[in-house]
Structure 1
Amino acid sequence: LLTGAEGCYGVLTLDENQNQTCLLAQATILATGGCGQLYLNTTNPEVATGDGVALAFHAGAPVADLEFVQFHPTALRLPDTPCFLITEAVRGEGGILRNAHEDRFMPSYHHQAELAPRDVVARSVLLEMLKTGTDHVYLDLSLLGPELTKHRFPNIYETCLSYGLDITKAPIPVAPAAHYMMGGVATDLYGRTGVPHLFACGEVANSGVHGANRLASNSLLDGLVFGHRILTYLQTHQLSFNQLPAELEATFSAETNPAQVTADRLTLQQLASTELGIIRQENGLCQAQHYLTATDLQQVPALTPDYLELQNLRLFAQLLVTAACARQESRGSHYRLDYPDPNPAWTKRIIQSPQGTSTIPVEQPFTWRW
């Protein structure tokens, strides 16, 4: 982002031919999605590398609630197959979760069994995987019968069939996958951030509507509602700059080793999946913090999108681990084995900016005045 005394002036772009271009705008809107690629297993697309949060943070915008990462409990788990999401409606229709020994396990974790909250089911599935030494459990649809299964879930049936699995004849191997970031760039109800002329909407933004645990489909608020509110704001407010800086220069640095970038990204994903995932504790968080501070990729020259994305993933991980260490309790999707219960003293939000980390009461909205 191109920033100066009056806020954000636009962006510096890098195209496939490594040409750099400055694009100036009176309003810049971040709508870059989340950061699911921080983890080995995710339902997110390959471009979900935390770019928007990293851009905003470097520009000086506060970010909030980054410790809250939602994992979908049932993503398809097959070799060399994408993490295709198996909707909770399957369990709502009577699908049963079974471990590697074919035992139903959810009733032993929660009185609502398979219909327990998403974070409870994801945590229970992970614990069963650890107990049995497997990388998945099974979602059994036999109680639904073949006709109901195909009628109610035609897309799931056809997709699994394309991967060689007939879910009317065999259970679905599933495992939790990173799905949605409740945290993001702190915004008010018009999508404004802490940097003038910079807006954010969608998963990259954090207006606070999801709290610690997003309800299913409520992500529509982030995109449709707040995207529309930004548009309404821009139609009714004339944004302008008093004076553009005499020079707006920013450059990307030179190229680096692609093989090393790939290896470093895999190491980061393995670390995040183990220590910053569904179940966290102090030792693991400290290990992650040490790894992220022991090496500084900013000192390595780069001009590849892969490297820039790795930088952004690392920054997102650093912000996440800082917030997760600070929140010494379990709340929503943030579960700490060493602090397994909610603590009323932590009914507040963790805000991070280049100036430091602070907290605000949950009932206090962000109000950015430009």
Structure 2
Amino acid sequence: MNSDVLPHSHTDVLVIGSGIAGLSIALKLAKHFSVTLVAKSSMNEGSSAYAQGGIAAVLDPFDSVQSHIEDTMNAGAGLCDAQTVEMVAKNGAAAIYELIEMGVPFSKQETSDAYHLTQEGGHSHRRVIHAADHTGKTVTETLLEVVKNTPNITVLPDHMTVDLILNKDRRRCIGAYILDQTSGDVKTHLAQFTVLATGGASKTYLYTSNPDTSTGDGIAMAWRAGCSVTNMEFNQFHPTCLYHPQDRSFLISEAVRGEGGILKLPNGEPFMQHYDERKDLAPRDIVARAIDQEMKKHGIDCVYLDISHQSEDFIRHHFPTIQKRCLNVGIDITRQPIPVVPAAHYTCGGITTDLKGRTDLKNLYAIGETAYTGLHGANRLASNSLVEGLVFAETAYQDIKAKIKPTFDPDRNVKDWDDTRVTPAKEKVLVSHDWDEVRRLMWDYVGIVRTDKRLKRALKRIKILKQEIYEYYYDHKLNADLLELRNLAQVAELMIKSALKRKESRGLNFNLDYPFMKKRSKPTTLMPKPHDKNKKKS
């Protein structure tokens, strides 16, 4: 399209992603600057809204920042960045109080006005503040209400970012090409600063607890633009997702185990005591592998999570969403155990950033699940994800505020998107088939338990798929499915390459060829080479 038809759009800050991290930084920045907030689906359709358990922060006088630090470091299996962990633990409470001031209705104790705190796997104290069992949804809806009443924010739902725009020397980000899914046009959006808050990449796997939007878009875009990525081999599988043909992607919160839920075999026998002294409150990587092993050992399709020993009132008060969702498929959790299986849940690696959310490119920031900050190491501690997004929204905001210029003089040499040489796709089966194949090979070869043989087979196939996808991409008019497939394939390749580089079993990366953990280890960082970057379609 030429610039006469689709003129450049200018804004001070372009925020891509409308989860808790994106909404939070947009609200902070909008106090002083113009902000464009982009969401590829509806504004509240992201992983944040699906977070049930809560937000971890030191809010109890009997808890301590040092204890939160130690729990995070232990869960991260020796790969957490100490500075990052300390910063998040120290600033988590302030982030929570900000949400309370904005009106987030966190759950109170039944007998007092104090907030109810729950305990989840890997935590040594009750420090998870929550809104019943729909924390992410409640926080997101509250923030969206504030966004609606904030004049400096332009909201663009149903807009999917295609690629970042760089200046001539390719060292600075100056905006992005964005597909308007309603019109089908790709528009040029220029900005002084760009923030990626696009979430993780769990949809790379066949079974996931996350929504369809979790396709690693920000990670793939940043990689194509020249940013490094770190720890992409560490993909967290949530131990307990509902196993039912009518509802396979519903997460059963870790808080169920935190409030006394017990994992059992079909015969009612508990088994977590055989894997960890913390039993059902062990970190997620341990619990997920234990369930996987028990399923393979006994040839069963699922295990069971039993909370029925608690009173009906207790269950209805603490887990109303889970109870209602299970009742919809005929399971009464006040009387029956819940059939569960592990599913891909969280991307612990991502775009390499510093303590201020800065990436390898000038004026490009990444916050939330799309970023690698060093907080999670080899395994994320439960409920540390939302607090990470909130804390880094603040540090990135402070850094941008200090650097932004009062007037914005955009680069007038940027070309608009040119799709004059492409044609509408005549068949969608090629995209749907490749989409399914990418996710299935990741599930089969790059799952909870890995081997080098499986990984090498996956890498060989993903390279072929990537080439097929890119050829299709360059020849056809864009749509969201094609863009997501392109990003999925790229992120899958990064995950596989990272897993092949780690010659040990640590945290979420368990390799049967290297079953032991090395005494010393470091994060896995990949740097893009010139041939890894796609040529611009403009």
Query: What does 1:9-20 correspond to in 2, within 5 Å?
Result: 9-16=174-181, 17-20=183-186
Partner of residue 350 from structure 1, selected from 521, 524, 538: 524
**SS at 2:523 equivalent:** strand
Partner of residue 334 from structure 1, selected from 490, 509, 513: 509
Note if contact 1:205-1:222 (Cα within 8 Å) is conserved in structure 2. Answer: no
Q: Distance in 2 between matches of 1:52 and 1:322?
A: 18
- Alignment-derived partner of residue 2 in structure 1: 165
- Alignment-derived partner of residue 124 in structure 1: 290
- Alignment-derived partner of residue 205 in structure 2: 39
Q: Distance in 2 between matches of 1:259 and 1:100?
A: 40
Q: Which amino acid aligns with 1:339?
A: Y
- Alignment-derived partner of residue 253 in structure 2: 87
Note if contact 2:192-2:404 (Cα within 8 Å) is conserved in structure 1. Answer: no
The Cα shift of 1:166 comes to 0.8
The Cα shift of 1:248 comes to 2.7
- Alignment-derived partner of residue 228 in structure 1: 394
Q: Distance in 1 between matches of 2:230 and 2:417?
A: 27
- Alignment-derived partner of residue 76 in structure 1: 242
Q: Distance in 2 between matches of 1:203 and 1:247?
A: 30
Note if contact 1:192-1:200 (Cα within 8 Å) is conserved in structure 2. Answer: yes
Please say if 1:298 is aligned against 2:470: yes
Partner of residue 259 from structure 1, selected from 429, 443, 448: 429
Q: Distance in 2 between matches of 1:211 and 1:223?
A: 16
**SS at 2:457 equivalent:** helix
Count of residues in Structure 1 that have an aligned counterpart in Structure 2:
355
Note if contact 2:308-2:334 (Cα within 8 Å) is conserved in structure 1. Answer: yes
The Cα shift of 1:242 comes to 8.7
- Alignment-derived partner of residue 366 in structure 1: none
The Cα shift of 1:144 comes to 2.2
137-146 or 336-345: bigger deviation? 137-146
Q: Distance in 1 between matches of 2:424 and 2:491?
A: 22
**SS at 1:25 equivalent:** strand
Query: What does 1:169-180 correspond to in 2, within 5 Å?
Result: 169-180=335-346
240-249 or 314-323: bigger deviation? 240-249
**SS at 2:504 equivalent:** coil
Note if contact 1:30-1:204 (Cα within 8 Å) is conserved in structure 2. Answer: yes
- Alignment-derived partner of residue 222 in structure 2: 56
- Alignment-derived partner of residue 315 in structure 1: 490
Distance 1:54 1:20, change over 3 A: same
- Alignment-derived partner of residue 134 in structure 2: none
Note if contact 2:238-2:342 (Cα within 8 Å) is conserved in structure 1. Answer: yes
Query: What does 1:158-197 correspond to in 2, within 5 Å?
Result: 158-197=324-363
Q: Which amino acid aligns with 2:357?
A: G
Q: Distance in 1 between matches of 2:395 and 2:418?
A: 33
CA deviations over 1:172-222 (Å, ceiling 9, x no partner): 011111111111111111111101111111100111111111111111233
Please say if 1:97 is aligned against 2:263: yes
Q: Distance in 2 between matches of 1:71 and 1:325?
A: 19
- Alignment-derived partner of residue 362 in structure 1: none
CA deviations over 1:74-117 (Å, ceiling 9, x no partner): 11111121522212222233322122344322222223222222
Note if contact 2:187-2:417 (Cα within 8 Å) is conserved in structure 1. Answer: no
Note if contact 2:272-2:279 (Cα within 8 Å) is conserved in structure 1. Answer: yes
Please say if 1:286 is aligned against 2:456: yes
Please say if 1:244 is aligned against 2:244: no
Q: Distance in 1 between matches of 2:491 and 2:423?
A: 23
Note if contact 2:258-2:281 (Cα within 8 Å) is conserved in structure 1. Answer: yes
Note if contact 2:305-2:338 (Cα within 8 Å) is conserved in structure 1. Answer: yes
45-54 or 76-85: bigger deviation? 76-85
- Give the TM-score normalised by structure 2: 0.63
Note if contact 2:357-2:367 (Cα within 8 Å) is conserved in structure 1. Answer: yes
187-196 or 250-259: bigger deviation? 250-259
Partner of residue 371 from structure 2, selected from 205, 216, 234: 205
Note if contact 1:255-1:304 (Cα within 8 Å) is conserved in structure 2. Answer: no
Note if contact 1:74-1:85 (Cα within 8 Å) is conserved in structure 2. Answer: yes
Q: Which amino acid aligns with 2:471?
A: Q
Q: Distance in 2 between matches of 1:251 and 1:225?
A: 39
The Cα shift of 1:251 comes to 4.2
Q: Which amino acid aligns with 1:269?
A: R
Q: Which amino acid aligns with 2:356?
A: Y
CA deviations over 1:31-70 (Å, ceiling 9, x no partner): 1000111112212111110000010000001111111111
Q: Distance in 2 between matches of 1:154 and 1:72?
A: 20
The Cα shift of 1:313 comes to 0.4
Note if contact 2:350-2:370 (Cα within 8 Å) is conserved in structure 1. Answer: yes
Identity %: 42
Q: Which amino acid aligns with 1:316?
A: V
**SS at 1:324 equivalent:** helix
Q: Which amino acid aligns with 1:350?
A: T
Note if contact 1:49-1:309 (Cα within 8 Å) is conserved in structure 2. Answer: yes
Q: Which amino acid aligns with 1:246?
A: N
The Cα shift of 1:129 comes to 1.7
The Cα shift of 1:130 comes to 1.8
Q: Distance in 2 between matches of 1:282 and 1:91?
A: 33
CA deviations over 1:130-149 (Å, ceiling 9, x no partner): 22333321112233243433
- Give the TM-score normalised by structure 1: 0.90
Note if contact 2:445-2:458 (Cα within 8 Å) is conserved in structure 1. Answer: yes
The Cα shift of 1:250 comes to 4.1
314-323 or 139-148: bigger deviation? 139-148
Q: Distance in 1 between matches of 2:480 and 2:310?
A: 46
Distance 1:155 1:242, change over 3 A: closer
Q: Which runs of 5+ in 1 are unaligned?
A: 357-370
